[in-house]
Amino acid sequence: MSTDTAPAALRRHRTIHRRGAIGLLLVALPVFLLAWLIIFPIFSAVVGTIFVPGADGAREFSLASYRFFFTDGYSLANLWVTLWTTAVCGILLLAIGLPIALYLRFSQGRLAAYVQGLAIFPMFVPSIILAYALIRTIGPNGTVDLLLNSIGLPKLRTPYLTPWGPVIGLVWDNLPLTVLMLTAGLSSVSNSAIEAARDVGARPLRVFISIILPRMGNSLLVTASFAVLGIFSAFTLPYVLGPASPEMMGPFMQRTFADMNDPLNAMTQAVITFGFCLVFGILYIRSIARNPETRP
Amino acid sequence: MSIGRSGISLRFDWIGLLFACLLTLFIALPLVVVGTWAFTEVWRYPSVIPQQFGLRFWGQTLARPDVWEALLLSLRLTTTVTILSAVICLPAAYAFARMRFPGRNILFLSFLASHAFPKFGLLVAIAGIFLQLGLISTFWGVVLIQLVGTLMLMIWIPVAAFQNVDRRMEEAARDAGATPLRVFWSITLPQAAPTISAALLLTFVGTFYETEGAWLIGAPEIRTMPVLMISFINNQIVVQYGAVLSVMLWVPSFIALMFARRVVGTGAFARGFGA
């Protein structure tokens, strides 16, 4: 290395170093918010529910709030109804979303655009307005009852205020992202692979099972994880459309925290929802970490 | 071969028609119903259409002081959150899109990973901290909680916008002697602006309708529009109040959101969630 190139290299090194520092400075504030308002509360909730203030004010190790949750019949019924709702919604979302996404992947024209528009439309409807609209539609003496009555059919038992109420609302609300995510996953399946399979005489079902499905495993996993994480602790729709007892974990946590003024048990319920969603959270993080498209 | 293709396309059309009909019924019916209720004065069971249409309940809803209080509060809150999230997130988005710094990938992924937790559980955990800090039932408590919800959106979409800016134009401007700030202001920002404004619009409308954090952190002092809607639904005083409020608040934001549709409709938006 000659004597005059050394300072140039040093200068370049310093410039890179300075740009790196500026970059870190620019991202510092949102990173701080992320750490303070997402990561810290999770640790704080876990620690705060395990080390609780004792009689003398000092914190001591105790699993009493967890013991209470897992021995309390009402808490367990709420957990069960939440698991049931999440499973039913997850299955329904994939069963409805996948055929729509497949149709959109292979179709063009006005009808396909209309179907896509409708499938994405709920994203533009806030859940509180949806909740209100569904009460007027499927509630007692709602529009569905009116229409059934007008063609001489008896009333259906309304799903409103039963566990099926939140299922209908949550499927409605989560359909757009499910369809968008599955369509994004399907776009990675190349046309030539499908054409090749068709040319050798494969039927649509065969093409789906042998060509499409293996290539969109990751996309299915992310979509399902995302739906589960969203539905497990949903609040507005279960609160407005669901039964008062047993209730889903979202309304249960809200009531314990605000109405019963019992933050310790509310936090315990929150940590339990983290625990039940942990597998899906890990699957989600693992797949976005692997996916090159989610990098800047 | 061509017969086979047309056979498939004919079948797909029928499937499309089936999807279109089912989705129209499932998606559009509840919205048509709420729209009809807003312009109805009398609708008694079992009449399929209302007995009397009219605007009487619009006057009554707009005369309620609680509606105006909630509307003004929501607008103040939403504007504050949108401005704050732009100030905090846009420089970070630029850094993620254009600069190399240690930990860049892991920090960026950690924003996407913030979706990996059940939202309401997280809100309860945050509420526990806000309780100790005295932020429960305060304006700034609700601002903070809503800011968290906007972080990912206001970083992810602008990152894509800054990446799509034509680098050659920036280099040309720099060669012509423009300062980095001048290049950013005259070349980079105008090109990224449409996508960034879509992100701002999504943030504004998303914050306006955010219900869960606003209620958990804000109750009982901070009553935003969605929180007021919940009390209208629960108390069921007059059916039309909720319907009028829904139409009144949803139509303008729906029109605004349609401008952001280009961003939402692309694969990039879904990829922001890891698809």
pLDDT (tens digit per residue) in B79-132? 999 999 999 999 999 999 989 899 999 999 888 888 899 999 999 999 999 999
Can you list the pairs that A80-85 forms with residues at least 24 positions away whose Cβ atoms lie under 8 Å?
A80/A246, A81/A163, A81/A246, A81/A247, A81/A248, A82/A232, A82/A248, A82/A249, A82/A273, A83/A276, A84/A163, A85/A163, A85/A166, A85/A167, A85/A170, A85/A231, A85/A238, A85/A248
Contact B271, A293 (CB under 8 A): yes
Whether the pLDDT of residue B193 is over 50: the answer is yes
The alpha carbon of residue A294 is apart from the nearest alpha carbon of chain B, in Å, by: 6
Q: Does B10 touch chain A (CB under 8 A)?
A: no
A118, B28: Cβ pair inside 8 Å?
yes
- What pLDDT sits at residue B267? 61
Which parts of chain A have pLDDT scores under 50?
1
Q: Which of B48, B105, B249 sits opposite A295 (nearest CB)?
A: B105
Cβ density class A61-71: b for 16+ within 10 Å, e for less: eeeebbeebee
* Contact at CB, A128 and B27, closer than 8 angstroms: no
**Using CB atoms, which residue from B151, B243, B269 is nearest to A34?**
B151
pTM of the model: 0.91
Q: Is B215 on the interface with A (CB under 8 A)?
A: yes
Predicted pLDDT of residue A65: 95
Give which of B125, B198, B150, B55 is closest to A41, Cα–Cα: B125
B233 with A240: Cβ contact below 8 A: yes
3-state secondary structure chain B: CHHHHHHHHHHHHHHHHHHHHHHHHHHHHHHHHHHHHHCEEECCCCCCCCCEECCHHHHHHHCCHHHHHHHHHHHHHHHHHHHHHHHHHHHHHHHHHHCCCCCHHHHHHHHHHHHHCCHHHHHHHHHHHHHHHCCCCCHHHHHHHHHHHHHHHHHHHHHHHHHCCCHHHHHHHHHCCCCHHHHHHHHHHHHHHHHHHHHHHHHHHHHHHCCHHHHHHHCCCCCCHHHHHHHHHHHCCCHHHHHHHHHHHHHHHHHHHHHCHHHHHCHHHHHCCCC
Detail the DSSP E strand segments found in A13-55.
51-53
Contacts of B131 in chain A (CB under 8 A): 263
Q: How many residue pairs bridge chain A and chain B with CB atoms within 8 Å of each other?
A: 314
B89, B230, B275: residue with CB nearest A222: B275
Residue A89: which residues within 8 A CB-CB, separation 6 or more?
A167, A170, A171, A174, A227, A231
Structure tokens at B227: 């929180």
Write out chain B residues lying below 8 Å of A232, CB-based: 118
Q: List the 134-163 stretch of B: residues with Cβ below 8 A of A.
A: 144-145, 147-148, 151, 155, 159, 163
CB contact (8 A) between residue B230 and residue A27? no
| CB contact (8 A) between residue B27 and residue A180 | no
The CA-atom distances, in angstroms, between A260 and each of A253, A255, A257 are 10, 6, 6
Indicate yes or no: CB of A37 within 8 angstroms of CB of B267: no
Q: What is the pLDDT of residues A137-196, one digit of tens each?
A: 999 889 999 999 999 998 888 999 999 999 999 999 999 999 999 998 888 888 888 888
For residue B5, pLDDT beyond 50: no
Closest CB to A123: pick one of B28, B89, B264.
B264
Confidence bin at B256 (pLDDT 50/70/90): confident
Look at residue B18 in the predicted model and tell me its pLDDT.
Answer: 93
Mutate to test the interface with B, among A40, A279, A294, A295 (most CBs of B within 10 A): A294
**Amino acid symbol at B145:** I
* Cα nearest neighbour of A21 on chain B: B101
Whole-number percent of chain B with pLDDT over 70: 91
Give pLDDT tens digits for B47-84: 889 999 999 999 999 999 999 999 999 999 999 999 99
Task: Give the gyration radius of chain A's Cα atoms.
Answer: 26
Task: Please compute the mean of the pLDDT values over residues B198-204 and round it to a whole number.
Answer: 91
For residue B161, pLDDT over 80 is answered with: yes
Judged by CB atoms closer than 8 Å, whether chains meet at A267 and B117 is answered as no
- 3-state secondary structure at position A291: coil
A272 within 8 A of A60, measured Cβ to Cβ: no
Say how many C-beta atoms besides its own lie within 10 A of residue B147's C-beta.
Answer: 24
Looking at the complex, report in whole angstroms how far the Cα of residue B78 sits from the nearest Cα belonging to chain A. 15
Query: Which chain B residue's Cα is nearest to A220?
Result: B275
Which among B25, B31, B100, B124 is the top mutation candidate for probing chain A, defined by the most A β-carbons within 10 Å of its own β-carbon? B124
Q: What is the ipTM of this complex?
A: 0.90
Query: Do B151 and A124 count as a contact with CB atoms less than 8 A apart?
Result: no
Return the pLDDT at A6.
63
User: What does the mean pLDDT of chain B come to?
Assistant: 88
